[in-house]
Amino acid sequence: MGYTKGDVLSEHFQNSSFLLTFGINRRSSFYGKIQLIGNISSILTFPGFFLKRGLASAEDIDSFPLKLKQQLVMLQWSFIGLIAAMVLLVIIEKSGVLS
């Protein structure tokens, strides 16, 4: 998604913080593309956090395409779920329940 829609994603956040949407590595590396997708999906998933701190613009969030917004929010929650599952597995392993 970062390679195919990276420019489209960035264009919708013209009024938001420069650091969130236009990193140094945005165009140059795989990590930069992943960081761009992560930042934008975080803004769309938790808009209140970013709006309260002045890092994102309400107009940018409202004007974002709905289908793409839904995909990015689902991606963010999937990532959060996977991290939570990994932490839970480590806790279970360390507790000795499986031994």
What's the pLDDT tens digit per position in 58-94? 888 898 999 999 999 999 999 999 999 999 999 999 9
Q: What are phi and psi of 29, to 5 degrees?
A: -140, 165
**Please, which residues have CB within 8 angstroms of residue 24's CB and are 6 or more apart in sequence?**
32
* Tally of structural domains, the chain: 1
Which backbone phi and psi does 22 adopt, to 5 degrees?
A: -125, 75
Q: How confident is the model at residue 27 (pLDDT cuts 50, 70, 90)?
A: low
Structure tokens at 81: 């779920």
Domain interval for residue 30: 2-95
Pairwise pLDDT comparison (73 vs 39), residue with the higher score:
73
> What is the reported pLDDT for 26?
55
Q: pLDDT tens across 40-63, in order?
A: 899 999 999 988 988 888 888 898
Q: Which position has the token pair 């956040």?
A: 13
